[in-house]
Amino acid sequence: MSSGAPTPLALAPSQETVWEFTKYFAPDDPGQAKFNVVQTVELDVDLDSEVLAAALADVAARHDSLRTRFLSTGCDPWVRVDPAVEPPLRVVDLRDLAGDEQERDLAELAFSERYRDFDLLAGPLWQVTLVRLAADRNILLVCMFHVIADGWSISVFLDDLDAAYRTRSGLRPPQPPPVIGFQEVAERQRRLRDRTNGRAAYWRAALTPLPGPLPFPVEHRSTDLQGEGQYRFSLPPEVADAVRAVATTARTTPFTVLLAAYHLVLAGRTGQRRLVLGSTTLGRDTPDSTGVIGQFTTNIYLPLSADPGRSFLEHVATAHRANVDALRHAASFTEIADAVNPTFRQQRPWPFIHLFDAWFQSAVPARGAVPEEGERATAAPPDGGVESVRPEWSPTAPPERIPLWIRRGAPGVVIDADRRGGVLLYNPSFFRQEMVAELVGQYQSAVATLAVAPTRPVGPTGLL
């Protein structure tokens, strides 16, 4: 493995999107972008903090992403992989506090970890906090800078940490060494990019002219640029089953069916027949990459056109072809940006949110625990909206950057892994919850209407 190599390294192609994003929204110090992947894990066992620290060091030795730090933080930064790192473990003991005080302090800790800053030049770019609540009740808060890890990586990290802790405790033999490291994957991505032709022409044709105004009404009601709201929704069992039936008929996935329905809802609300939906893939295309910590996710952008004379099944087929074409022409962010924006290099940082009208993605499936048909992996929260309580800090931005902060906070859909519901995320500083609730209601109704009669023209449904 290349884990111990101190050679300066460029970012992997799959890291470019996240880096450009953080660089735009925190140009002076991207480590303060607070763009992290986080996980809270409750453990009903006692943990030895010294054994935990040793196990964390073992996990860091397995994954070069956990030993990565930046050498520069410009638009095209350099990083290095250190031979070893001191495990970034903090232990917080709340056992002497009463229940209400424990819950309050735990909530504050979880919030501060979620919005943690990282020193990119010093590293490490991850943090684990062990919170002791009782002798047999502990909480692990895991936070990683998004440039070095994606959502899937958290599952890899926790699996490897569990194995390393058990090994250190004498309960199992050591894990075999990983087959491949992230830097090897990065090099493989670069070689593939060099061999694939036609991508620039494809994306230029697919995405230009670039999207215009957002397909959602904007009301600038607050100065909180990073406000967070979410509106959960679910699909009745019979509707979810109908979605699966449409997917089977169209030889595609339930996710594609749900995406096609969302496009038709937005087209009907806005009168814009052509819209580009942004989405993302796991980017882990080979079995050896599934056990690696790193930023693999790759964005794709799907240009879709609505036609009232065509059936829903035909719109689903169009969405499927758009997805296949996008994957066939998968490219790094800078490749796409160069293809669609002739002045990209002069305008940098220029984040990916320029490239789509609305966002629609899948939640990250649990590693090794994909739900069976009709089964939820975990109970979902009830339907409805929640606007988060914000911390005392809030980022500021010059007036010319506010439009992209608004675009960043525009409503985006995350579909549950079981395809029976999801959540719409948005910034309530710019988008009213009432509008979001109306959008969700229209979407639920549209999915039910379209899925039960997929061969009829969509025009008579009133959507378009």
CA distance 182 to 280: 19
User: How would you class 305 by CB atoms within 10 Å of its CB: exposed for 0-12, middle for 13-18, buried for 19 or more?
Assistant: middle
CA distance 393 to 34: 12
Which tens digit of pLDDT belongs to each residue from 232-273? 999 999 999 999 999 999 999 999 999 999 999 999 999 999
One domain, residues 380 and 442:
yes
Closest CA to 419 of 359, 372, 355: 372
Task: Give the β-pairing of 36-43 and 68-70.
Answer: unpaired
CA distance 34 to 441: 32
One domain, residues 383 and 446:
yes
CA distance 145 to 153: 11
pLDDT at 287: 84
The DSSP annotation for 230-284 comes to EEEEE--HHHHHHHHHHHHHHTS-HHHHHHHHHHHHHHHHH--SEEEEEEEE---
pLDDT tier, 378 (very low <50, low <70, confident <90, very high otherwise): very low
CATH code where residue 252 lies: 3.30.559.30
One domain, residues 300 and 153:
no
372 pLDDT above the threshold of 60: no
One domain, residues 245 and 118:
no
Using CA atoms, how far residue 26 sits from 19, 34, 296, 384, 398, in Å, is: 10, 9, 22, 32, 12
CA distance 2 to 9: 11
Q: Which of 212-226, 306-320, 398-412 has the highest mean pLDDT?
A: 306-320
Segment among 35-49, 85-99, 193-207 with least mean pLDDT: 193-207
Cα 356–chain centre separation: 16
pLDDT at 3: 46
369 pLDDT above the threshold of 80: no
pLDDT at 394: 64
Question: What are the residue ranges of helices labelled H in 341-432?
Answer: 344-347, 402-408
Segment among 197-206, 375-384, 410-419 with least mean pLDDT: 375-384
The DSSP annotation for 149-195 comes to --HHHHHHHHHHHHHHHHHHTTSSPPPPPPS--HHHHHHHHHHHHHH
One domain, residues 108 and 218:
no
Final residue of a structural domain among 127, 156, 188? 188
Which DSSP symbol is given to 65?
A: G
One domain, residues 111 and 26:
yes
One domain, residues 207 and 116:
no
In a domain, 170, yes or no: yes
In a domain, 1, yes or no: no
The DSSP annotation for 222-234 comes to -S-TT--EEEEEE
8 A C-beta contact, residue 266 and residue 298: no
pLDDT tier, 6 (very low <50, low <70, confident <90, very high otherwise): low
CA distance 260 to 306: 9
In a domain, 355, yes or no: yes
One domain, residues 173 and 203:
no
CA distance 151 to 158: 12
One domain, residues 46 and 109:
yes
One domain, residues 130 and 220:
no
Helix, strand, or coil (residue 330): coil
In a domain, 4, yes or no: no
Q: What percent of the chain has pLDDT over 90?
A: 78
CA distance 326 to 301: 7
In a domain, 406, yes or no: yes
Total domains, the chain: 2
Which tens digit of pLDDT belongs to each residue from 307-358? 999 999 999 999 999 999 999 998 999 999 999 999 999 999 999 999 999 9
CATH code where residue 124 lies: 3.30.559.10
Geometric angle at alpha carbon 355, from 350 and 356, rounded to 5°? 140
Final residue of a structural domain among 188, 212, 231? 188
One domain, residues 210 and 160:
no
In a domain, 238, yes or no: yes
State the first-to-last Cα distance of the chain, in angstroms, to the nearest integer: 55
In a domain, 365, yes or no: yes
Kindly report whether the peptide bond that precedes residue 349 is cis, defined as omega within 30 degrees of 0: yes
Which DSSP symbol is given to 388?
A: P
Closest CA to 282 of 155, 119, 430, 421: 155
One domain, residues 156 and 212:
no
Final residue of a structural domain among 188, 215, 238? 188
Amino acid (1-letter code) at residue 104: R
**Sign of torsion, CA 364 227 402 118?**
negative
The residue segments making up the domain with residue 139 are 9-188
Which tens digit of pLDDT belongs to each residue from 127-137? 999 999 998 89
Phi-psi region of 220 (alpha: psi -120 to 50; beta: other; left: phi over 0): beta
What's the whole-model pTM score?
0.92
In a domain, 2, yes or no: no
8 A C-beta contact, residue 65 and residue 153: yes
